């Protein structure tokens, strides 16, 4: 079964990784960044080796995000970032093909142990199964 494993963050975290501390997050230094990237790359390398890795990407900061909706007349309404300092957004993800939910939970637990400077915020690692059948949602409701 395929799963989406997501890590979260906020604009303040991206500022912190660029060396700018805030009340939300301490500043990261070059050593902190190297440790984080090495850790995450090691996970991806291990998952590629086991054949479980489908895709993995880190995402740019929320300030470079764009929301597109439609107004009452159906015209696009575009809103650019930045967003609130503590608003959590998707910071990166893995698409994994794992034998079980228990296996992907083991992987998420490993991701959750990623090194960060003391005082950094802690976010949950979110697991979502990917509906490959298209016949029903997770609650068993048949799709139209």
Quote the pLDDT of residue 66. Answer: 87
What domains can be seen in the chain, in order of their start residue? Answer: 2-129 (3.30.70.1060)
| pTM, to two decimals | 0.85
Quote the pLDDT of residue 87. Answer: 76
CB 121 within 8 A of CB 21: no
Quote the pLDDT of residue 134. Answer: 73
Task: Give average pLDDT by consecutive 10-residue segment, the chain, 144 residues.
Answer: 96 95 96 98 98 97 89 93 70 97 98 97 97 67 49
Quote the pLDDT of residue 138. Answer: 53
CA distance linking residue 108 with residue 134, whole number of Å = 25
């Amino acid at each position: 079964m395929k799963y989406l494993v997501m890590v979260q963050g906020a604009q303040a975290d991206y500022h912190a990784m660029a060396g700018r501390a805030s009340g939300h997050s301490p500043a990261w230094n070059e050593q902190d960044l190297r440790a984080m990237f090495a850790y995450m790359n090691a996970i991806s390398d291990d998952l590629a080796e086991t054949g479980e890795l489908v895709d993995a990407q880190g995402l740019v900061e929320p300030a470079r995000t764009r929301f597109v909706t439609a107004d009452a007349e159906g015209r696009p309404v575009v809103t650019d970032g930045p967003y609130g300092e503590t608003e959590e957004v998707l910071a990166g993800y893995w698409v994994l093909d794992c034998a079980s939910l228990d296996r992907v939970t083991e992987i998420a637990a490993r991701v959750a142990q990623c090194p960060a400077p003391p005082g950094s915020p802690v976010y949950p690692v979110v697991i979502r199964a990917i509906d490959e059948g298209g016949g029903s949602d997770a609650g068993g409701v048949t799709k139209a």
